[in-house]
Amino acid sequence: MENLIKDAIARIYERIEAACQRAGRSREEITLVAVSKTMPPEVIKQAYDAGLRVFGENRPQELRDKARLLPEDIQWHFIGHLQTNKIKYVAPRAVLIHSVDSLRLAEALDQFAEKRSLTIPVLLEVNVSGESSKFGFAPEKTPEAFEKIAGLKHLHIKGLMTIGPLSDDRQKIRQAFRQLYNLREDLQKTASGVELPVLSMGMSGDFEIAIEEGSTHIRIGTAIFGARGRQP
């Protein structure tokens, strides 16, 4: 099992490398976020022992519990929908919250950060595909949300996040990622002086397209750990 995870990581590294080459990008631009949701600490530890340090979780209490049990140098990213009453489990531990999907959540995070004298790094989640099952700001509503959230003193907006469309149509997926890239460019132009270096897009099934379209953070679960509920 240990070797399965190690081998899976090695294969993903090769694919990241190849996608970077095709896109004329440097490998250092890409952060692999290993999505360890539902995986028990022993399994996460195997990925840690294989060299990974950046892990993504989507349930607040699960992140808190795993952070207590696993090595301190792990960088935890929060990638799921966050309810305001669960901010306390996430904000003190996550180095980046990918999934700020409402003004209400942003304001609650800002208040929490103020009380604790923190600055919380966040991404705004954009629902590019418009699928009703997905959270996030509609693309056309994102500039206004960005402006308001950028005014909150204790949040630091580092960029944008999206989940690619649920589709086999590679062109459609590419289009969605390109749209997030362009939205980021537009926001940087409009709010001059603002830097949004992070684009979190790409999962097990579509991360190569995402890298070709400018992703900086790919969120990979299944391709490292196997199908959730059926570990390798």
Among 62, 222, 226, 231, binds ligand PLP (CB under 6 A): 222
Residue 68: C-alpha distances to residues 73, 76, 92, 93 (Å): 12, 11, 12, 10
Residue 115: C-alpha distances to residues 7, 64, 111, 119, 192 (Å): 44, 19, 6, 10, 29
Among 30, 35, 109, 122, binds ligand PLP (CB under 6 A): 35
Angle of helix 170-190 relative to helix 142-150, nearest 10 degrees, comes to 40
Query: Which amino acid belongs to residue 186?
Result: D
Is residue 211 at the binding interface for ligand PLP, with CB under 6 A as the rule?
A: no
Among 31, 167, 204, 231, binds ligand PLP (CB under 6 A): 204
CB 127 within 8 A of CB 180: no
Site for ligand PLP in 136-165 (CB under 6 A): 163
- For ligand PLP, the closer CB: 111 or 167: 167
Is residue 201 at the binding interface for ligand PLP, with CB under 6 A as the rule?
A: no
Identify the three-state secondary structure at position 10. Answer: helix
Among 66, 77, 158, 219, binds ligand PLP (CB under 6 A): 219
Residues in contact with ligand PLP by the rule CB under 6 A: 35, 37, 58, 79-80, 163, 203-205, 219-223
